[in-house]
Amino acid sequence: MPALTDAVELGVTELVANVVRHVPDRRCEVLILRQPGGVRVEVADGFAQLPAFAVQSGPDDEGGRGLLLLDAVAGKWGVDPVPGGGKAVWFECWCGSTCPA
């Protein structure tokens, strides 16, 4: 699925960077699932705080655009609670007419 490579790499990079920036212990699990016609990625951590869009991010700011980038490259994305605490932020990218790459 070479058409998805850039989108998936960008999504994984942004979600893991958010873990490094915002999760106190900086630990996460990354799951990449190949699905018919696409890919689903989940990044789970033990921190219950939900991700949020930056209220305002200037052109010279080093951060604050991760979820906006994810929203731009993913077919869909969301956040699910993890049993025992924490969350899993996930996204899906598809090939074909819905392929965002």
What is the spatial distance between Cα 53 and Cα 18, in angstroms, rounded to a whole number?
A: 12
Q: Say if residues 30 and 12 touch (Cβ distance below 8 Å).
A: yes
List pLDDT tens digits, range 38-89. 999 999 999 999 887 655 555 655 555 678 889 889 999 999 999 989 999 9
Higher-scoring residue by pLDDT: 3, 81 = 81
Which value, to the nearest 10 degrees, does the dihedral of the CA atoms of residues 57, 62, 68, 69 take?
150
Full-model pTM:
0.84
The mean pLDDT value for 22-42 works out to 95
